Chain A
Amino acid sequence: MKIDIEKLKGIVGKENVSDDIVDLYVYASDASVHQSLPGVIVRPRTIEHVQKIMRYADKNKIPVVPRGAGSGTSGHTVPIDGGIILDMKQMNRILAIRPEDMLVKVEPGVVDDDLNRALKPLGLFYPPAPASSRIATIGGEIAANASGVRSVKYGATRDYVYGMKVVMANGDLVNLGSNTRVHSSGYQLERLIVGSEGTLGVVVEATMGIRPLPKFRCLAVANFDKLEDAGNAISEIISSGCEPSMLELMDNIGIVAVNKAMDLGLPDVAAIIMFEADGNVKEAVDFEIEKMKKICKKHNGTGVKKSYDLAERTKLFSGRKKLFAALSRYKEGIICTDLADDMGVPNSKIAETAAKIHEIAKKNNVIMAVYGHCGSGVIHTKIMLDTKKKSQWKDAERVIEELYDYIDSVGGVTSAEHGIGLSKAPPWKKARPDMIPVMRKVKKALDPNNILNPHKIMDAPDDWVGATNLRYKVG
């Protein structure tokens, strides 16, 4: 598999191709624990560029891994087989904002926050917004079916995909979907691309739905002395018909880490819940907040603070927004690793799952924070361990096995919003053996030469620790 660098330079220009170690080494990583060198990085700027690159790669059976910001947590963009990294960040134009049709047309490299900055003056917004929205690209969000804090009310990326242009493995360009919120015109192939992690095609243009910005947003925080109470409060808020626009949990480990990293002075309690309501009628927003406040109180929630003010809301929420990286500061000598990071469980199992996570962590000598968009069933954790010790990686492997067995037993899913990639593939494969042959047939039909992000999801290695080099130096 010799890559013809000159040929690629001929397609996109020499300034957009690099096979220098300075770039190869950087593009070998994302936010996961994995690391593997690509052969070359290519930055296309047009649909034709992508088509030509794919035709060349398909003919020569060279792996191609499309990449947005590289903020994925499970190794989706780590090129396990080397090959071409297709850095899509140069295709970053917002092609059209059509308020009359309530949609936007964007290139895949548009950054989520940039899109929202363009929409805001028009009183509109694009809701899915993962925590990484400041750098995450729309293409990457489609590939992972990203969701975020507001997904409890507004849904995930898949709910906003109206249509898209996709370059297939052989270089063919296809138009999928529609310009409308619904359609019933053939297979919903645009939905098939959502969550496909770059294994089925390269998204080169997306038509996404947008929504009007609500006039009022009110954010409230409640404290709990028991994690279980907080979990039960969340379950009841959802099952009692409240309509939060955000419903977040943060446990004591998260609170301690955020206070250490940012000195926010959050109360040192077992857990806090952040809940938000939005709408165009203030009384209706108040009604929702009061209803949720009552449920929190019923479950021993105390010290409820609420605010409509943007600056105060931003401050209240900043701890949650930056929790992911702040976890590294929880304890000296302990490193926060991106493992077991985003399981989804049915609403009634929130409290039980939270307790189970702490139990499994303790049993296996690691630390795990419990937080996340629990209102939409997403529980985030991270495994915090001493990465230098080989035995701790064995501990992590046991944690992952035990935890995902439990998640499966309560009807949950391996990943709610980050995707499977490499590190979550073994538990996912164990939980969904029936899906694997069907997915392989789809993959074979669309990418017969297996060049698009190969050996991911259903085809990823069974041993996630040995799948690639680990980014950490063990021993």
Chain B
Amino acid sequence: MGIIGKIFYLKEKGKFKRSKKWEGELDKCIRCGYCYELCPLFKSNNWESDTPRGKLLLVYGMITGEIEPTQEIVEKIFQCFYCKNCSDNCSAGVPVTDILSDARADLIEQGFEVEGTIVKIDEDLCSVCGVCVPLCKYEALSIEPDGKDKEKIVVDKVECRGCGLCVSACPSGAITQKEGCEVTLPELHEKVKEIIKQNEKKLVVFACNWSMFPGMQLSESPILVKTQYGIIVSMCSGRVAPELVLNAFEEGAWGVMVAGCPPEECDHDGNYKTRRRLVLLKNTLKELNIDPKRIKLEWFSTGESAKLQNTINDFVKELEKMGPINKMEVSKKIGG
């Protein structure tokens, strides 16, 4: 042993003005790792560098000069949905997301280009209609001048929470997020398919990461207990685009439930949009000869796992009475 495994200390320090002030808090982190349980990114990627503890370690390493920021490290730091499950439940009281925000600002200042969970605008597709700008509660989107007579939408990479609300609202499909964190529309569609095809579930539940995720941890049995429903954690309920719900019916679901935060409790004001959107969608379903009662929107606060479970059970019973969607009728109607 001895030199092997020891860490090489870098000489250059002082590039982390904002993050440096958190060194004391980072020492307070006992590194128990209890935050793993609550992190949606860790659940999907399963590397410890995706956990809140892992990210705090990386920030600590960078501000103390033990490691140099690399593109890979920066990507990890910018992968976070700010659900705050970690900081809200940290019994050492470490403000994880505040620390990450400062680290992000420092890294942007150092000139790093990042993707992470930040939204990206395809300027070729974007018509600068500006629908997305007032949607974002964190004011991460703005219209800025682009040359002499043009304008463009600019993303504030420190403020963007990656909730994806703007992605599902953009009429041109110009806003996207990187694949790999199980939140893009194609990835969510894949999950819907998986649930229905492999497990023959009748009900697909889109649960909001912010309100339901910790509660779900308490109620869901991972395997062997056969259920008629499958839960997909979909970030903000406002992220559940109409096509995702239709996808679920197309794949054979008998019903779809969207579980969001109660009004006034949503971190992104996405729940109001979901409500409006689902009313419109129900009308569309009528047109398609599908009973609109097959869509359900319910509000749940953090920790209301028992309420979620009961609501799901009741809905499954209702769906069993309705039976599967008659595909012939649907296709005739659509075709006719």
Cα(A82)–Cα(B32), bound, Å? 22
Contacts of A329 in B (CB 8 A): 28, 92-93
Name the segment of A90-98, A208-216, A285-293 touching the other chain. A90-98
Q: Which residues of chain A in 77-121 are interfacial with respect to chain B, using CB atoms and an 8 Å cutoff?
A: 79-82, 87, 89-90, 93-94, 97, 111, 113-114, 117-118, 120-121
Contacting pair B224 A21 (CB below 8 A): no
Complex A-B, nearest 9 residue pairs according to Cβ-Cβ distance, in ascending order: A322-B91, A36-B5, A325-B92, A325-B91, A328-B28, A82-B5, A26-B54, A328-B92, A22-B72
Using A82-B5, A261-B93, A324-B32 as known contacts, say yes or no to A87 and B223 having CB atoms under 8 A apart: no
What 1/0 flags go to A30-62 for Cβ under 8 Å of B?
110001111000010000000000000000000
Residue of A nearest to B30 (CB): A325
Contacts of A328 in B (CB 8 A): 28-30, 92-93
Contacting pair B58 A326 (CB below 8 A): no
Say yes or no for A429: interface residue by CB 8 A criterion.
Answer: no
Contacting pair B92 A261 (CB below 8 A): yes
Say yes or no for A172: interface residue by CB 8 A criterion.
Answer: no
Residue of A nearest to B222 (CB): A114
Cα(A152)–Cα(B92), bound, Å? 27
Task: Give, as a whole number of angstroms, the nearest-CB distance from A124 to chain B.
Answer: 12
**Chain A to chain B contacts (Cβ below 8 Å), 13 pairs:** A18-B47, A21-B67, A21-B70, A22-B70, A25-B58, A28-B5, A37-B6, A70-B33, A89-B46, A118-B223, A336-B28, A468-B5, A473-B23
Using A37-B5, A326-B91 as known contacts, say yes or no to A117 and B47 having CB atoms under 8 A apart: no
Q: Which residues of chain A in 1-18 are interfacial with respect to chain B, using CB atoms and an 8 Å cutoff?
A: 1, 18
Cα(A134)–Cα(B225), bound, Å? 19
Contacting pair B57 A25 (CB below 8 A): yes
- Pair count A-B, CB < 8 A: 139
Size category of the A interface is 35 or more
Contacting pair B58 A22 (CB below 8 A): yes
Size category of the B interface is 35 or more
User: Pick the contact of B66 from A25, A36, A113 — CB < 8 Å?
Assistant: A25
Contacts of A324 in B (CB 8 A): 30, 32, 91
Contacts of B46 in A (CB 8 A): 43, 89-90
Task: Give, as a whole number of angstroms, the nearest-CB distance from A428 to chain B.
Answer: 18
Contacts of A326 in B (CB 8 A): 91-93
Residue of A nearest to B36 (CB): A135
Task: Give, as a whole number of angstroms, the nearest-CB distance from A89 to chain B.
Answer: 6
Task: Give, as a whole number of angstroms, the nearest-CB distance from A474 to chain B.
Answer: 11
Which of A1, A20, A43, A134 has the most C-beta atoms of chain B within 10 angstroms of its own C-beta? A134
Using A80-B1, A461-B1 as known contacts, say yes or no to A21 and B33 having CB atoms under 8 A apart: no
Contacting pair B72 A20 (CB below 8 A): yes
Contacting pair A37 B28 (CB below 8 A): no
Contacts of B225 in A (CB 8 A): 118, 121
Contacting pair B48 A70 (CB below 8 A): yes
Say yes or no for B273: interface residue by CB 8 A criterion.
Answer: no
Cα(A81)–Cα(B222), bound, Å? 36
What 1/0 flags go to A55-79 for Cβ under 8 Å of B?
0000000000000011100000001
Contacting pair A23 B33 (CB below 8 A): no
Say yes or no for A181: interface residue by CB 8 A criterion.
Answer: no
Q: Which residues of chain B in 12-54 are interfacial with respect to chain A, using CB atoms and an 8 Å cutoff?
A: 23-24, 27-34, 36-37, 46-49, 54
Say yes or no for A223: interface residue by CB 8 A criterion.
Answer: no
Q: Which residues of chain A in 365-405 are interfacial with respect to chain B, using CB atoms and an 8 Å cutoff?
A: 387
User: Pick the contact of A26 from B23, B49, B222 — CB < 8 Å?
Assistant: B49
Cα(A333)–Cα(B36), bound, Å? 26
Say yes or no for A284: interface residue by CB 8 A criterion.
Answer: no
Task: Give, as a whole number of angstroms, the nearest-CB distance from B324 to chain A.
Answer: 26
Say yes or no for B156: interface residue by CB 8 A criterion.
Answer: no
Residue of B nearest to A33 (CB): B31
Contacting pair B90 A325 (CB below 8 A): yes
Contacts of B67 in A (CB 8 A): 21, 25
Using A22-B76, A26-B49, A118-B224 as known contacts, say yes or no to A37 and B7 having CB atoms under 8 A apart: yes
